[in-house]
Chains A and B, each alone.
Chain A
């Protein structure tokens, strides 16, 4: 683990997605911690110094990710959160994190629909980490 690199927690119950994104993110120079469900995610947050979270909405339940976002923001109010989700494709229900109002209840900074290209995810990660560094 590189001490100077930023650490990203990915939460998804799709193991292929976790493996793929881990490879991409490590190649891009990040430390990666992964979790397959909300409980494991909260344990990982407690055990590691995490700089940003990437998560899926549909974990144990269809909406577990939303509750997880809420818990993360409660413990770490400044933690940047990116939701990468297939919820629209799976259920037909569309969510957005475009306006301040939507962000305030969805408790995430960015929402990307799956399949997202890695360059999109990387761009959002870089943008949020730069903003976090600027406001720190």
Chain B
């Protein structure tokens, strides 16, 4: 350890670490804009500058290593003035429409302007004439609000390995753009929304479908049905100021009813259904020499990634639709018939932690004879907006159970919300399907936690199954390259587009950091630990659905409505 002097106090630092990281550990707060933990620093924004004795100019603390005996001032007049000027310059060509901005009161730039006491416009910069790109069904890009911090570019390339956007042009004409400045819609963007999560301003936001949903809720002809994903109930509370890790499934169900949704269903139900289909498909592939390893197909960003970058692996993808689409299909086909409602009069909404689900819902494959499985997808953030719009107070809403028949779920289905959850649920059910007995210990420790890649060997009835769990497309790319190079010890691989799984999805509350994701994850594990129905195959409602409608897993009816096909996808670059 080395010792540095910060604001006349001694602070311990590790050799080789940056000044910023030492300051963070000592709870000394230095503002940042472009900084991203776990990624190599760029030092682009200059917000984190500090004064180091003996150095002529101010030093970006995010990119400068500590040295023994360093004397640092983090809030000297010179430093504060520099930071304030940086913000004033960023504001000089920023649109003054905070009141109309989706990030109002939740904006990195606004927060810094407030903290540094910017009260007047000292610089008037020429504004570039940029227009909004609203072509994508998932993400809207508003260049006028971009401050060129580069976080979206880095998360897209370095974390997700997609590189759909990058800096183009030079100097004052620099902007973040797609290849040939084509719309995001025809780029290689996989719609994961991680760029939205890291954007400090309103330059990136989700394509909102609140208007469509409200119109449907107000239409007396429509029966509006809603489903909510496993990862939503453990994050929604954060939008209302409650600290991460609280499950408010019951209150959320009550709120959804008060918003006017006629039926509230749980996507974790169809996660159980997915497990029945997917575990059967896997067992079939292993027994009949099908294409292996089999990849999960729940995460729509991952599906588009394979279609674009690794089309050779399309046969490896499970043909199962995602839980969202499965429930959508079951609602429009089975539920509509049972309740004697014309499927065209059902407006099916899903609340998802995800922006890519918006893209998935409008894939042409998800359109059975002109009736879409899902009519509109809202993110967790949009649901919070809708709740605020209606003036509901989540603290004063009595918990309510979901509706039958798609409200019952196992905790295995709920685990889908975190990386490793699909695998854990699948292992529990595969064990039962192959041996007729339950796993003695249901927790599959090897696939839990926030590690980027988790591998295990599962032994069931003499079968030795190699499994891997990957989250973050950059990590998935590495594994795909290994398999391409000849690795063949794996049978089943779960891939989640976002690092950490759906609990860290692109539709989740802003301000998501590693601690928040860990807290959300333990909330899911707590639910799994505390309930009795913990395996998908024991879900009575799923069993009944098979008896009354589907027949058997991977049967003809299942194949008609619960499975799909993927296609090689050509995009601009």
Q: Contact between B131 and A91 (Cβ–Cβ < 8 Å)?
A: yes
Q: Contact between A126 and B367 (Cβ–Cβ < 8 Å)?
A: yes
Query: Counting CB contacts under 8 A, is A123 at the interface?
Result: yes
Query: Counting CB contacts under 8 A, is B316 at the interface?
Result: no
0 or 1 for each of A96-118: is its CB under 8 Å from B? (1 = yes): 10111100000000001111110
Q: Which of A92, A96, A114, A134 makes the CB contact (< 8 A) with B135?
A: A114
Q: Which of A89, A119, A130 makes the CB contact (< 8 A) with B369?
A: A130
Residues of chain B within 8 A (CB-CB) of A116 are 135, 185
Q: Which of B183, B212, B362, B369 makes the CB contact (< 8 A) with A123?
A: B362
Expressed in whole angstroms, the minimum distance between the Cβ of A83 and any Cβ of chain B is 13
Q: Contact between A113 and B344 (Cβ–Cβ < 8 Å)?
A: no
Alpha-carbon distance between A114 and B131 when the two chains are bound, in angstroms: 13
Alpha-carbon distance between A69 and B325 when the two chains are bound, in angstroms: 34
Alpha-carbon distance between A117 and B182 when the two chains are bound, in angstroms: 12
Query: Counting CB contacts under 8 A, is B69 at the interface?
Result: no
Alpha-carbon distance between A116 and B185 when the two chains are bound, in angstroms: 7
Residues of chain A within 8 A (CB-CB) of B219 are 100
Query: Counting CB contacts under 8 A, is B9 at the interface?
Result: no
Q: Contact between A115 and B186 (Cβ–Cβ < 8 Å)?
A: yes
Query: Counting CB contacts under 8 A, is B301 at the interface?
Result: no
**Which chain A residues (71-92) contact chain B, with CB distance < 8 Å?**
88-92
Residues of chain B within 8 A (CB-CB) of A89 are 131-133, 135, 183
Query: Counting CB contacts under 8 A, is A94 at the interface?
Result: yes
Q: Which of A90, A112, A123, A131 makes the CB contact (< 8 A) with B367?
A: A123
Q: Contact between B211 and A96 (Cβ–Cβ < 8 Å)?
A: yes
Expressed in whole angstroms, the minimum distance between the Cβ of A82 and any Cβ of chain B is 14
**Which chain B residues (110-138) contact chain A, with CB distance < 8 Å?**
131-135, 137
Residues of chain A within 8 A (CB-CB) of B344 are 131, 134
**A122-B364 in contact given A99-B211, A100-B219, A117-B186 (Cβ < 8 Å):** yes
Query: Counting CB contacts under 8 A, is A49 at the interface?
Result: no
Residues of chain B within 8 A (CB-CB) of A98 are 209, 211-212, 215
Number of interface residues of B (CB under 8 A): 25
Residues of chain A within 8 A (CB-CB) of B230 are none
Q: Contact between B135 and A113 (Cβ–Cβ < 8 Å)?
A: yes
Q: Contact between A88 and B370 (Cβ–Cβ < 8 Å)?
A: no
Q: Which of B134, B371, B372 makes the CB contact (< 8 A) with A113?
A: B134
Q: Contact between A99 and B212 (Cβ–Cβ < 8 Å)?
A: yes
Alpha-carbon distance between A43 and B164 when the two chains are bound, in angstroms: 43
Residue of B nearest to A101 (CB): B215
**Which chain B residues (65-108) contact chain A, with CB distance < 8 Å?**
none
Q: Which of A101, A115, A127 makes the CB contact (< 8 A) with B370?
A: A127
Residue of A nearest to B136 (CB): A113
Alpha-carbon distance between A127 and B362 when the two chains are bound, in angstroms: 11
Alpha-carbon distance between A112 and B183 when the two chains are bound, in angstroms: 12
Alpha-carbon distance between A100 and B214 when the two chains are bound, in angstroms: 11
Query: Counting CB contacts under 8 A, is A120 at the interface?
Result: yes
Give 30 A-B contacts (CB < 8 Å), ordered by A residue.
Answer: A88-B131, A88-B134, A89-B132, A89-B135, A89-B183, A90-B131, A92-B131, A98-B211, A98-B215, A99-B212, A99-B215, A112-B135, A113-B133, A113-B135, A115-B186, A116-B135, A116-B185, A119-B363, A120-B185, A120-B362, A122-B364, A126-B367, A127-B370, A127-B372, A130-B369, A130-B371, A131-B344, A131-B370, A134-B344, A134-B370
Residues of B near any A CB (own CB < 8 A): 131-135, 137, 182-183, 185-186, 209, 211-212, 214-215, 219, 344, 362-364, 367, 369-372
Residues of A near any B CB (own CB < 8 A): 88-92, 94, 96, 98-101, 112-117, 119-120, 122-123, 126-127, 129-131, 134
The 5 closest A-B CB pairs, nearest first, are A130-B370, A99-B215, A113-B135, A115-B183, A98-B211
Could you list 9 further interchain pairs (A-B, Cβ under 8 angstroms) beyond the known A94-B132, A117-B186?
A89-B133, A92-B131, A99-B212, A114-B135, A115-B186, A126-B364, A130-B370, A134-B344, A134-B370
